[in-house]
Structure 1
Amino acid sequence: MSPPPATSQKVKHDVKKKKNLAKMRAREQQKSVQKMEQKNNAVTFEIIFAGRSNVGKSTLLNKLTGQNVRTGKRPGVTLKPIHLYFDDFLITDMPGFGFMSGVTKEKAEDVKNNIVRYIEDHAGRIKMAVQVIDGPAFLEIVERWDARDEIPIDLELHSFLLEMNILPVVAVNKMDKVKEEEINDMLDQIALKFGYAAPWKESGLLLAPVSARDDQIRPLTSTLKNEIHKMRRDDLFKYFR
């Protein structure tokens, strides 16, 4: 038995409406992709933030730029690069590597490989990398890897950045947990682990002791601006708080 004419017309109308909505979404998606491509093509200067999960990368980036980058207490919240575009300047918050709560080892390995691939693909425009480490935990982590006769991921990343001609700045976060009288010795030990000589201030390693939680980020801001000035891009200063 055939449906009543009115019902048949409604079905045709609904089908046409769905097709139109699908076409509209496809056009919007295409526009979004094109807009993103235009932004990417305009980028000439990029700074990436990289480091282990839960070292405070996103929080530090928020403090530095005043932008709202998603953060979370659970390690591994950021699984894909998050981009902040400023004309031809781009800041990228890379996914954290290492332990990630609720993430399989295979997925964690994929994330690490994707970080390497991203850096390789965009090395021409990545001028600097802020490598964020957990100051109080760093030496213990490195010693744990050394005991297994393995190269710590942090040191491997640092060497990789240098190989790609990307200037690394090591932001030693969570310094609020370190006693004042222990700071210089700890930073000397960190410099040594990265393969530089002590004392750290004369080692050649760009170390910036900070505490994102307490809003104490001036050492990082000063270091970044100093290096950006050497690259003759003082116009980028306005994007930092």
Structure 2
Amino acid sequence: MFENRPNRDAEVVLVGRSNVGKSTLMRELTGHDVSTGSKPGVTRQPNHFDWAAQDFMFTDLPGFGFMSGVEDERREQIQTEIVRYLEEYADRILAGVLVLDGKSAVEIIDRHADRGEVPHDVEMFHFLREVGIEPIVAVNKMDKVDDADERLNEICDRLGLYPPWQQWREETVAPIRAKRGSIEPLLECLRTRFREEKRDDLLGFVTS
């Protein structure tokens, strides 16, 4: 099990494949620099940023899926620990933000599906729901996508969300560009979630 988790009763977690920009997004959400790099798998332990007064924190969980230079056994161990973490703290997690690479997500999902495998991203989306964490899908790197609406519709389709994607705006689907600091759609989704959870005291953490 991951160690050194601060004892906080409210949490937003970031989950996703390696190198989709979770750590960059974490920096935008918290204003703190975290370890980032072009090499997948930089984050091997959760990064927590917490506030004692509000009993709240953001958590960037390690990336799952293929990681260059990481042995299969270690990769599987990380994935198992992510699942255990989400199961153990599900009742404290207000939102599970599944971060996808808008440029490559559909291709990766289809490639795994064509092999008869359940793609990790799709599996994680449904796993979050199974443990009672309603996911928010942050589709990152949208500045590299030619037709944003088409790509977001395809992603919704792969996740089992009925297109058009716009009907999921403000609650579930957030197209972002974390490296450019453009994350307002995600902030809006988080504001909606905090209000639903009657945690208006946390809205200050998701102002633009």
* TM-score interval for Structure 1 and Structure 2 normalised by the shorter chain: over 0.9
* Structure 1 spans left out of the alignment, 5+ residues: 1-32
Higher relative contact order (CA 8 A, sep 6+): 2
Within 2, Cα distance between the matches of 1:155 and 1:144? Answer: 12
SS at match of 1:190: helix
Shift of 1:107: 0.4
Matched, 1:238 2:207: no
2:16 to 45, 51, 61: 51
Identify which of 176, 182, 191 aligns with 2:156: 191
- 1:104 and 2:104 equivalent? no
- Residue 216 in 1 paired to residue 182 in 2? yes
SS of equivalent to 2:132: coil
Q: Offset of 1:58 from its aligned partner?
A: 0.6
**What are the residue-to-residue correspondences of 1:1-241 with 2, within 5 Å?**
39-40=6-7, 43-87=8-52, 88-179=55-146, 182-202=147-167, 206-240=172-206, 241=208
Structure 2 letter corresponding to 1:127: L
Is residue 30–residue 49 contact of structure 2 (8 Å, CA) maintained in 1?
no
In 2: Cα distance, 1:219 partner to 1:239 partner: 14
TM-score calculated relative to the size of structure 2: 0.92
Structure 2: which 5+ residue stretches go unaligned? Answer: none
Q: CA deviation at 1:167?
A: 1.4
TM-score by length of 1: 0.80
The sequence identity of aligned pairs, in percent, is 44
Distance between the aligned counterparts of 1:175 and 1:73, measured in 2? 18
Offset at 1:223? 1.1
Larger relative helix fraction: 1
Alignment length (residue pairs): 202
Matches of 1:203 and 1:166, distance apart in 2? 16
Letter in 2 for 1:84: F
SS of the residue corresponding to residue 135 of structure 2 reads strand
Partners of 2:185 and 2:45 in 1: CA distance: 28
> Aligned to 1:213, what secondary structure does the other structure show?
helix
Deviation at 1:203, TM superposition (A): 5.0
